[in-house]
C-alpha cells in the first residue's frame, strides 16, 4: 500500500460572512477563507486535487457576491513552485466537483489526466437556472476540458494504490471526496461537501484563521444534529446522507480536510 503526503495549497482567498458558510450562525463575524487545492504524492505519483478559481472571476478585487477576493494562475503556479513542482509534473488532477473555484485553472495541466464524476460532467453541461444565476458553473470550461485528457468515474472507486474516491452528492450532483492513506492514517479531502469542519462537526466552538489566530464561534445546536449546512447546497436530502456517511467513516474532524478550511494553511498531512 502506497503511503502519501498531502500538501494544502492556498490558491487565493475570499472574505465572507461566516453565516454564509455555517448558515444561521455568527452573522456578525467575517472571515477570510482560502481557495484550496491539495498536492498529494507518494514519491512516485503526483496528484493535484482541484486547481482554484480563474482570475476572470476576480473583478476589481472582488469575486462571488461582491466579496473581496484574490486568486488565479499566479497563485497556482507560485504554490506549486514552493514545493518544487511544475504543472507538467502532475499526473492526475482529481476534482472534488466542477464549480468555477475548483476547476478554474485546469488549462495549466495539459499533460495530466483530469478526473471527475460522470454526474458532475452532466451537471456542468446542463445546469439548472438557479445554478446559472449564481454562476457556480463556468460553462466555458466544457471546451477546455474536452481538449484535455479526461476520465469520468461513476460512484465510488479505488483510483490509485492508497487513494480512493467516494461519491458524496448534495453540494453538487457529482461531488466526490478523496480518501488518502498516509503514515498517520487515512485522511479525507472533502471539497465543498464540507466547506469547513464546523458544518459537519457542529460541536466545534473555536476556529483557527489563516494567520493562526483562534477565535470562538457558535456551535450548531443539538436540535440541528450538530450540523450547520452551508448556503451552497443543491440537494439537501442527498447532502445530509453524504454528511452522515462521512461522519461514520471519519468521526475525528482532524482527518477531514475541507474545501475552504482556513486552519489547513501552512500545514502538511501524513
Q: What is the pLDDT of residues 86-142, one digit of tens each?
A: 999 999 999 999 999 999 999 999 999 999 999 999 999 999 998 888 889 999 999
Q: What is the mean predicted confidence (pLDDT) over 195-209?
A: 98
Phi-psi region for residue 50, left (φ > 0), alpha (ψ -120 to 50) or beta?
left
Question: Cell triple for residue 269?
Answer: 498531512
Confidence of residue 231 (pLDDT cuts 50, 70, 90): confident
Residue closest to 153 by CA, chosen among 133, 141, 169, 142: 169
The architecture in CATH of the region 5-264 reads 4-Layer Sandwich (3.60)
pLDDT at 156 over 70: yes
pLDDT at 132: 85
- Kindly report the average pLDDT of the chain as a whole number: 96
Gap between the Cα atoms of 105 and 88, Å rounded: 13
Gap between the Cα atoms of 258 and 195, Å rounded: 5
CB 166 within 8 A of CB 176: yes
Q: What is the mean predicted confidence (pLDDT) over 66-73?
A: 94
pLDDT at 1 over 70: no
Q: CA 213 → CA 31, 52, 195, 219, 265, distances in Å?
A: 11, 24, 19, 18, 12
Q: What is the mean predicted confidence (pLDDT) over 150-177?
A: 97
- Predicted confidence (pLDDT) per residue in 186-198, tens digit: 999 999 999 999 9
pLDDT at 69 over 80: yes
CB 27 within 8 A of CB 19: yes
High-pLDDT (> 90) share of the chain, %? 94
Gap between the Cα atoms of 181 and 201, Å rounded: 22
Domain boundaries in the chain? 5-264
pLDDT at 232: 87
Q: What is the mean predicted confidence (pLDDT) over 205-233?
A: 95
Q: Please count the CA atoms within 13 angstroms of the CA of 224 that sit on its side-chain side.
A: 19
Q: What is the mean predicted confidence (pLDDT) over 1-18?
A: 94
CB 152 within 8 A of CB 117: yes
Q: What is the mean predicted confidence (pLDDT) over 176-186?
A: 98
Helix (H) or strand (E) run with residue 103 in it: helix 100-103
Q: What is the mean predicted confidence (pLDDT) over 50-73?
A: 93
CB 177 within 8 A of CB 191: yes
pLDDT at 34 over 90: yes
Confidence of residue 64 (pLDDT cuts 50, 70, 90): confident
Amino acid at each position: 500500500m502506497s503511503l502519501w503526503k498531502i500538501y494544502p495549497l492556498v490558491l487565493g482567498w475570499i472574505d465572507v460572512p461566516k453565516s454564509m458558510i455555517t448558515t444561521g450562525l455568527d452573522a456578525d463575524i467575517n472571515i477570510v477563507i482560502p481557495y484550496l487545492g491539495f498536492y498529494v504524492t507518494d514519491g512516485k505519483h503526483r496528484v493535484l486535487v482541484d486547481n482554484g478559481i480563474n482570475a476572470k472571476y476576480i473583478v476589481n478585487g472582488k469575486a462571488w457576491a461582491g466579496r473581496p477576493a484574490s486568486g488565479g494562475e499566479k497563485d497556482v503556479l507560485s504554490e506549486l513552485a514552493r514545493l518544487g513542482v511544475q504543472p507538467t509534473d502532475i499526473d492526475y488532477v482529481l476534482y472534488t466537483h466542477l464549480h468555477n473555484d475548483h476547476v478554474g485553472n485546469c488549462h495549466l495541466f495539459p499533460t495530466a489526466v483530469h478526473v471527475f464524476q460522470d454526474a458532475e460532467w452532466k451537471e456542468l453541461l446542463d445546469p439548472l437556472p438557479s445554478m446559472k444565476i449564481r454562476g457556480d458553473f463556468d460553462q466555458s470550461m466544457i471546451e477546455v476540458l474536452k481538449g484535455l485528457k479526461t476520465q469520468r468515474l461513476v460512484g465510488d472507486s479505488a483510483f490509485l494504490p492508497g487513494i480512493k474516491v467516494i461519491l458524496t452528492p448534495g453540494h453538487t450532483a457529482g461531488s466526490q471526496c478523496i480518501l488518502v492513506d498516509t503514515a498517520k492514517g487515512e485522511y479525507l479531502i472533502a471539497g465543498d461537501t464540507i466547506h469547513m469542519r464546523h458544518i459537519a462537526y457542529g460541536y466545534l466552538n473555536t476556529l483557527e484563521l489563516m494567520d493562526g489566530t483562534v477565535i470562538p464561534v457558535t456551535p450548531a445546536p443539538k436540535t440541528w444534529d450538530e450540523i450547520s449546512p452551508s448556503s451552497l447546497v443543491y440537494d439537501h436530502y442527498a447532502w445530509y446522507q453524504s454528511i452522515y456517511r462521512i461522519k461514520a467513516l471519519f468521526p475525528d474532524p482532524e482527518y477531514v480536510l475541507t474545501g475552504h478550511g482556513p486552519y489547513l494553511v501552512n500545514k502538511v498531512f501524513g
